[in-house]
Amino acid sequence: NAGVTQTPKFQVLKTGQSMTLQCAQDMNHEYMSWYRQDPGMGLRLIHYSVGAGITDQGEVPNGYNVSRSTTEDFPLRLLSAAPSQTSVYFCASSPRRGTNEKLFFGSGTQLSVL
Amino acid sequence: GDSVTQMEGPVTLSEEAFLTINCTYTATGYPSLFWYVQYPGEGLQLLLKATKADDKGSNKGFEATYRKETTSFHLEKGSVQVSDSAVYFCALVNGSNYKLTFGKGTLLTVNP
């Protein structure tokens, strides 16, 4: 059981480039989310989805797009990368059985925007 | 809105020392409370949780008690090991929005 898989693990972009961070889970979880982790800031929610075809904004959504065409996949798109988006990105999923269910995290993508 | 405040690190201890990491929260209603741990180079993983007042979560020798009167969920361990070196995050979920609110994290380093 692979759990939550994120690719790539590392990425360097130039300002203005676009890219997609991939996230896939094989646990049939309905809830998926993207966080960014910055020093001294903890984790901040970017976007989340409670099921295929349903997405919503989190705390820091600007500059990021998401879609959820299948239960398994939840890609995060940076349309025009900015240095402020340099961060470590984590995808997480959870069964949609209740708000006290734990999150399962991927191992992260370290992104640098020059 | 909801918020979580945890003690700033880094915290450096010797092996077998007692650990406390303070966590307080601000939220309406009755949130569920969590401690997550992040080992170097890895994603976060759930350490323990408590879903109602006076509940005690425990795992791997760590404990935390949900104190509604003081809005706190302090993490404790009686005897830390080098392998406990990690970043610890306190977090809450409130209501039906499925969104975790995290504290800023506390880096723990345990020396042999």
pLDDT in tens, A31-41: 999 999 998 88
User: Is B42–A107 a contact, with Cβ atoms under 8 angstroms apart?
Assistant: yes
B107 pLDDT above the threshold of 90:
yes
Q: Pairing between strand A109-113 and A10-13?
A: parallel
pLDDT of residue A102: 82
Instruction: Give helix then strand counts, H and E, for chain B.
Output: 0, 12
pLDDT (tens digit per residue) in A14-23: 999 999 999 9
Place of tokens 């380093």: B109
Cα nearest neighbour of B89 on chain A: A42
Chain B residues inside the 8 Å CB shell of A102: 34, 46, 49
Q: State pLDDT tens for residues A94-112.
A: 887 666 678 899 999 999 9
Question: Does residue A1 have a pLDDT over 70?
Answer: no
Question: Which of A100, A101, A107, A110 would you mutate first to test chain B, the one with the most B CBs within 10 A?
Answer: A100
Query: B101 phi and psi, to 5 degrees?
Result: -105, 120
The pLDDT value recorded for residue B65 is: 97
Q: Give the residue-averaged pLDDT of A8-29.
A: 96
Q: CB–CB of B93 and A99 under 8 A?
A: yes
pLDDT at B42: 87
Tokens of B17: 């020392």
Nearest to A105 among B34, B44, B49 (CB): B44
- Cis status of the peptide bond prior to B10, with omega within 30 of 0: yes
Q: What is the pLDDT of residues A53-79, one digit of tens each?
A: 999 999 899 999 999 999 999 999 999
Q: How far is A92 from chain B (nearest CA, A)?
A: 9
Are B104 and A41 inside 8 Å of each other by CB?
Answer: yes
* Chain segment B73-104, per-residue pLDDT in tens: 999 999 999 999 999 999 998 876 677 889 99
A7 part of contact set with chain B, CB < 8 Å: no
> Which candidate from B42, B46, B102 shows the least CB-CB separation from A43?
B102
Residue A39 sits at the chain B interface (C-beta within 8 Å): no
Residue-wise pLDDT for B10-68, tens only, equals 999 999 999 999 999 999 888 999 999 999 888 899 999 999 999 999 999 999 999 99
